[in-house]
Structure 1
Amino acid sequence: MKATAWMGRDSVKVVDVPEPKIMSPRDAIVKISTTAICGSDLHLYHGYLPAMRKGDILGHEFLGEVVEVGPEVGNLKVGDRVVVPFPIACGRCRSCRQGLFSVCENSNPNAGFAEKLLGHSLAGIFGYSHLTGGYAGGQAEYARVPFADVGPLKVPDDVPDDQAVLLADVFPTGYMGAEMCDIQPGDVVAVWGAGPVGLLAAASARLLGADRVIVIDRYPYRLRLAEQHAGAEVLNYEQVDVLDALNELTAGRGPDACIDAVGLESHHDNPALYAYDRTKQAVRVETERPFALRQAILACRSGGVVSVVGAYGGFVDKFPMGALMNRSLIMRTGQCHVQRYTRPLLERIRRGEIDPSFVISHRLPLKDAPKGYKIFQKKQDDCTKVVLKV
């Protein structure tokens, strides 16, 4: 079969690999129809997350048709159309029983490696390095889905692929980012990053009752999407001082909640500060460029919530712990517990409350995945998200 493989830093290639096989009674095989390139895939593409190996199959957002099931998978049958959450979760451990699917205790066969870096292991994740289990990803013609009796959600015929595939990651992740803000009537929510997750976090904040949403980015075309689809006020951080502007917009208090939807490769308008973190990251002295995170903490009103759904992989420098502690801020974060959200968000889509596919800008065949990575990386042709058709 054809699959998108990581070939080294800033290089992917569509290659021929063996088709996956059932390896456990709880497995299923899915023939993929639609998959996507996620912003967090770019962190792998750039080589910023550890434990990637040449030839690893990428992709953790995919949808398709079940073509084979193991004997213990009673909830699916051949022919079912399903979307597959990116965290692999057993459904039976203590974390899964609490709904913390992205920290499943049983799905990461490389848990010992993750524990050395993170203290405790996270769940297995499709196509996301050997730190998260080394599972083959879904930017391919077929995928093996472990614990298929827990993760995949059947998708009805009235929901198109372009909407349903976003339930694998970016829509639930954006929604969880907004949900963690404990939004109350009258609240102002600021979102750093107008990529797919940030845009859907902004739209979700509106769904959850935020009075005002302010989105911070530097690309005018992405800020226009935030205005059009989330009713957001927007700030271009290359044109304004973000902290001053947020104080002015909130009568000096700061936003009630701040969402970091950027993660470890954020940018900054100050060349000296950007060069400092960029250089440390390039030589792997620091694993993150945390400009957005630092700014979100400093901007948030005292007693407010900082919600972090941008992906981070290791260690940050100059973390403003003093602001976090002394101003009674609450920080919430996590890889998304997608299985919690797929069904209720599917119903919101079916009721017409939101069409998350507004974040998709490019649709390409799987064979053009390398082109998709390039245009997404370089933000060419007003690219916000690339979907690959198989």
Structure 2
Amino acid sequence: LLLLRAARRSAPARPEAGASGEPGDADAQSVSADAAAGGPRRGRSAGIPQAASSRRSFLVAGAGVLAFAGAAGGLGRYLASGVGIAEKRAALRLPPAADPLPSLPRGADLGIRGLPPFTTPNRDFYRIDTALSVPRVDPERWLLRIHGLVDRPLELDYDALLRRRLVESDTTLTCVSNQVGGDLVGNTRWLGVRLDDLLREAGVHSGADQILSTSQDGWTCGTPTEAVLDGRDALLAIAMDGEPLPFAHGFPVRMVVPGLYGFVSATKWVTDIRLTRFSDARAYWARRGWAVKAPIKTMSRIDVPGPLAEVDAGPTTVAGAAWAQRRGIEAVEVRADGGPWREADLAEVPGIDTWVQWSAEFDLEPGRHTFEVRATDNSGYTQTEERAEPIPDGATGWHSVQITTV
């Protein structure tokens, strides 16, 4: 259609063409407008031979059509490949864990209305990354290299990874960008291969204190080697909440290392792992001034009632979540209107690497009220009231909400 219009413009002009105002014919509209304004007309009157101008318009239009066709073809191939990869993901039948974890404790989820569930549904799990578009990695072409300061470099394709011993882990992930009271945190059951087993098989050199991992899109992450080799459930994960990783969460393979903020532990679409030293290589966010060793800080949050909620006076349930991965939560305390701290009831948890739900009851008079919360982890540390922004190594401070009772 574009070329047809350009061809029409390249033909000898009829006397009335300049005033036709035909929709979509920019040249005719411009000529008509210039003539009405008494200004110079385009084409011959502007000092450009009309035939040459028309040929130039035709060639420019042709080049534009070719460029558009090329881009459309590329987009079509991308969409077609994405559809194919989606079908491959849907057809996957993942092997079971070698030693499946028991079911979650019956009391892990308090079931309070408005309180996020203990297991975050995949569709609701937070996503933070630098990818402009979600990578679609073909599992049949995925390949992982483990190299650098190791004795025996390894290469694994997806099938080889699935043939290895798979384990499950209940782990809460937290983003360093999470503000006090924020929702950039989620919990699920992961399935994958222990990363420490692979590193020991490769033979890590003494002094290799950094695991520099690279994503399919080129993003890099620096993880302390000691945090993977100390026995925690650091995984090359292939599934979350019983299904293959969603594309937005790293399909086909991602890293999960409990106890560290995601920017130093949770590389999605991982394709390369190089053992190196922090003194020799700096990951993406480290080059921008963020911390290189970023353990998750003890934190608590009020979810119920929500901020500025209006509730009935009288008995009121206050509830939320708290987390301190690798340490676990010992206690959660809540207070109303600056009064004495009251210890909340804690739900059951499967281990120290997940968040815990908590609740407390208050009897409130009509009016405006402010609740505050703080948590103490199993090391004896109670989170500080002092506010700190997330950058460079995580936010601190007590979360508070204001409500009105009527």
Higher relative contact order (CA 8 A, sep 6+): 1
Structure in which a larger fraction of residues adopt helix:
1
Name which one, 1 or 2, has greater alpha-carbon Rg. Answer: 2
Q: TM-score, normalised by structure 1?
A: 0.25
- Which structure has the highest strand share of the two? 2
- Name the TM-score, length of structure 2 as normaliser: 0.24
